[in-house]
Amino acid sequence: MTTTNAPAPRPGILDIAAYVPGKEHAPGVAKVFKLSSNETPLGASPKAIEAFQKAAASLERYPDGQATELREAIAATYGLNTANLICGNGSDELLGLLCHVYLGTGDEGIITEHGFLVYKIQIMAAGATPVVVKEKDCRVDVDAILAAVTEKTRIVFIANPANPTGTYLPVDEVRRLQAGLPKHVILVLDAAYAEYVRRNDYETGIELVSSNQNVVMTRTFSKIYGLAALRIGWMYAPLAIVDALNRVRGPFNMNSAAIAAGAAAMRDQAFAATAVEHNSEWLGRVTGALSSLGLKVTPSVTNFVLIHFPDIDGKRAPDADEFLTSRGYILRAVRGYGFPNALRMTIGSEQANEGVIAALTEFMDR
C-alpha cells in the first residue's frame, strides 16, 4: 500500500483551474467604477433592502430549508408550480448539484468554447470529462454540439444569453438542440441574463422545461435584481430532477435574509423594469460610441458588451485594460474565455459609461 505524508485530493481535482473573478481595485485612484462583474448600477430594490434588514431580528433561528417564500414569489411571477422550483446559494450551487448528481467517472459534459467557466469546473469536480465544442462568430453552434454527443454524454450546458459574448440562441435553435439530444441527456439552459433580452425570437426555456423531462433552466438574482452579495439562484426543472437534487442539497443552503430579500425583489417587478430600461438605453449608446472609435463590439442582448481591440502594439486589450484602470475604470479581461484581445464592459451608471467612452477615445487617439 502506498502512503504519503499528507492528505491528497482524488485524481483530477488539481487539474482544475480555479475560477478567478473580475478585479475590483485600481490602486492609487480616488474614484473607481467597477464594470467587471456585470452588477447592476441601480442596486437592489428598496423593498428587498427593507426585507433584508427585517431578517436581522431573527438571526438565532434556522432559515426555512425549503425557501418557501422565495419559491412562491417566483412561481407567482412566472406562473410556475412551486414543486418544480429549487433555490440555491447562487445558480453556481445548482449547476454544481446537477453535475454531482448526474455525472461520474467516464461520463462527458458538453460545453462551448466561450462558455461560463464554472461549467467546466463542476464537470471536472464530479470526475467527468468536459468536451469543448467550437462556437461560430461568438455564438453557440447547435450542429457542433450535436456532433459532439457520444454514448458517454450526460449533460449539455449552454448560457443563453451567453457570457462573455452577450449573444443568444433563438428559440427555434434551442428547440432543435433539445430535439437532437438523446432523452437521457440533460440540457441546461443558464438564463442568468434573460431579463435584459428584448428580442421576439428569444425564450428563457420555461416552455421547454414544461414539455420535456430532460431540460432545466437556471436563473439568478445577482444581475437584474442587484442581490449578488446574497448569492441567490433558482432552477425550474422536471419533478424527477428536483427530487434528485433535493436529496443531496444542503438542508439549509440559503440564509433567511437571502430568502426574504429575494422574495421582495421578485415581487417588485417595477424596479426591475427600471433597470431594464436603463440598460436598454445605454447598451445601444455604448455600442454605438465604441464602434465609432473603430473598435469591434460583439452585438449584445445583455447588460455588458465584449470589446475587441486592434492587434497593434500599444492598442491591444492588455494595454487598454492598464490605461482604463489607471483612470478608475475596471473592465473584465477575458483571456480565460478565449478572448486574449478583448475586454468585457458592464453597462454601468451614466457617469461610468460616459467615462469609459471618453477614456477609450483618448486611448485610441494616442
Residue 53 falls within a domain, yes or no? yes
Q: Are residue 71 and residue 161 in the same domain, yes or no?
A: yes
Q: Are residue 26 and residue 121 in the same domain, yes or no?
A: no
Mean pLDDT for the chain overall: 95
CB 102 within 8 A of CB 238: no
Residue 4 falls within a domain, yes or no? no
Residue 3 falls within a domain, yes or no? no
Tens digit of each residue's pLDDT (9 = 90 or more) over 277-298: 999 999 999 999 999 999 999 9
Amino acid 90: pLDDT: 95
Q: Are residue 90 and residue 126 in the same domain, yes or no?
A: yes
Q: Are residue 260 and residue 352 in the same domain, yes or no?
A: no
Counting the structural domains of the chain, the total is 2
Residue type, 342: A
Q: Are residue 263 and residue 119 in the same domain, yes or no?
A: yes
Residue 5 falls within a domain, yes or no? no
Neighbours of 143 (CB within 10 A): 13
What does the DSSP assignment read for 84-139? Answer: GEEEEEHHHHHHHHHHHHH--TT-EEEEETTS-HHHHHHHHHTT-EEEEE--BTTB
Domain boundaries, position 256 = 46-267
Residue 7 falls within a domain, yes or no? no
Q: Give the C-alpha separation, 252 to 65, whole Å.
A: 5
Q: Are residue 131 and residue 239 in the same domain, yes or no?
A: yes
Tens digit of each residue's pLDDT (9 = 90 or more) over 13-40: 887 777 777 677 777 777 999 999 999 9
Tens digit of each residue's pLDDT (9 = 90 or more) over 181-231: 999 999 999 999 999 999 999 999 999 999 999 999 999 999 999 999 999
Question: pTM, whole model, 2 decimals?
Answer: 0.93
Q: Are residue 107 and residue 215 in the same domain, yes or no?
A: yes
66: its cell numbers: 425549503
- Vertex 233: Cα angle to 153 and 70 (nearest 5): 130
Residue 232 falls within a domain, yes or no? yes
Tens digit of each residue's pLDDT (9 = 90 or more) over 299-322: 999 999 999 999 999 999 999 999
Q: Are residue 187 and residue 260 in the same domain, yes or no?
A: yes
Q: Are residue 307 and residue 227 in the same domain, yes or no?
A: no
Residue 301 belongs to domain with CATH number: 3.90.1150.10
- Is pLDDT of 334 > 90? yes
Residue 176 belongs to domain with CATH number: 3.40.640.10
CA dihedral (226, 262, 66, 118) in degrees, to 10, reads: -10
Q: Are residue 186 and residue 234 in the same domain, yes or no?
A: yes
| Region of poorest pLDDT, from 8-12, 171-175, 310-314, 316-320 | 8-12
Amino acid 2: pLDDT: 59
Q: Are residue 210 and residue 125 in the same domain, yes or no?
A: yes
Residue 82 falls within a domain, yes or no? yes
Q: Are residue 242 and residue 285 in the same domain, yes or no?
A: no
Residue 242 falls within a domain, yes or no? yes
Identify the domain boundary among 224, 245, 267. 267
Identify the domain boundary among 228, 243, 267. 267
Amino acid 16: pLDDT: 78
Identify the domain boundary among 267, 294, 309. 267
Q: Give the C-alpha separation, 122 to 301, whole Å.
A: 26
Amino acid 1: pLDDT: 53
